[in-house]
Structure 1
Amino acid sequence: MIRLSPTQPGAEQRVTASDLVRHFGVWQERATRAPIYILHRGRPRLVLTSLDVMDALCTPHFAAASGDTMRDTLLDVVETIMLVTDRDLVITGASRGARRYFGAAASAGQPIAGCAAPGDTTLPATVRRVLASGETETIECRSPRVAERRLACTVIATPEGCVVKIADTTATEESQRWRERHEALSAALAATRSAAVSLNLRGRIEEPTPALAALTGATLDALAAARLVSLIAVFDRTRVGDALEAVIEQGAAMSLSASLLVGGAEISPAAIGLAPLTAGGRITGVFAVIVPHDGGA
């Protein structure tokens, strides 16, 4: 049986039970994008996942379905880039993430070599070795989309052929650089008594920062998964809520003035900038910057 779950989920996919309870809203939102592994004594023990994946695993028709049907249905809800090949190095299945990344090259019946840059034989050669040895291997090859990008490919032998799990290592490095820039931006904003925060599509705060806690007088635990409008004076909440909806619906940035609640009671005038957060061409949330009108170094 093909194992579709990652053997070593990334840090963004792992959470302790205590953190899950404290920040359930944040992890619930992440679980809609990828399975979340709940740790017990440092090791994954339980999984929080989306209804799509559970339906694929548990619907009654699976009892009579063939192994290929079950596999294809599961692959259809997996965002990880994953390919399944037969012993002739021909693709027999591809995850949703693989089809999005490789396009027609990931279609059933296509050679696995088409998922690497022209002339780069590293991937098919590795699949042949794994088929012969049965030992899992991880290699790097050039992306067929942009030659400068690198793909890390983990090839795992199965009775029918191989499973190839792929990650864009260049994208991982870029993400790290952007994360560092984001941290620098957050520090610069904090120096001016301003704050930046990401919101999900429900307007709830994801990963609140110390700068936001200092600005609002609320604790990080209280801010986790709180709605942005709950930090706004009652008479301005409708306007801020409408602005959030407009940014999500129109996909355009906007700004407005509103009164911020400090310590749950004191009112402080502020400017709020809102911009859509996107992933894969779709809006996944909103990025907000809050600048108090009396802010300054």
Structure 2
Amino acid sequence: MDKEGRMTQVQPMQCVSSAELTRNFGAWQDRAARGPLVVTHHGRPRCVLLAADAYAQFSRSDVQESESAVDHALLSERIDVGFVVLDKSLRMQELNTLASVMLGRSRDRLIGTSILDLLPRLAEDPYHTQIRRVLRSAAPARFSLLGQDERSIHVHAFPWPTGMALTLQSVSSEDEAENELARARALFAALETHGNIGTAQLTVRASIAEVDESFASIVGIAPDRLVGARVTDLFAMASRDPVSAALEKVMGGGKVEALDACLLVDGGDRPRRIALASWKEGYGIGGAMMVLHGPA
């Protein structure tokens, strides 16, 4: 199409034999100034004669592209997360060293491999749905899933010119502990809001370290008076041995214990359902949590 919007015919690339080029080099170099000229030998293309300014522009573009690729590779190696570039069929095109370590194979063996072969849970919902949404609508996605070593991996998926890219961040034991604590806090807050369920944090010696308002209301004692007391003292004599035995099992690393016991409330016995679970502190048991069900 010319400047006025009219269709023009595309001219085929012109060829010249090497013998003819040698005989009339001056004329043919003038022709090469107007566009690439294919030089043939015995009828087969051997090389292309290109004007100096066209070559300089081509070379400069090639160098810039190479420098950009080098900069990208250096940057991907400096970030502290695994970085993977996928095509639209989810096959790996590029990845940094950390990603290859996390996926358990060398970079050469991973190139061209589907990410689903290394992280098969990505093929399951809801992960696969989110991955496809990134490719379809260019909307980024964040989620966590279990890797091959059953450790959690934080995944950030986002659009990339060739398809999509992922950053992979392995969740450390400290992160897991922090997440577990956050989940526990949310659970206890929900239980306290429930009103008919109380929670208490116990030390390894079975004394009360902390209680919520619901627990204090169920046993009929103010929270500040409960802290430091032996939890077994809240129960009737007949229930103290079963409660102590359940606490001993839990503190020893056993499973969650649940039992019926009688609380001493207002000078009388009140049957209540309780549950006990240990919590870890560092490498050992730090204490236990007691959940107490209030009156119906």
TM-score, length basis structure 1: 0.40
TM-score, length basis structure 2: 0.40
Choose between structure 1 and 2 for higher RCO, CA contacts under 8 A separated by at least 6 residues: 1
Query: Bigger radius of gyration, 1 or 2?
Result: 2
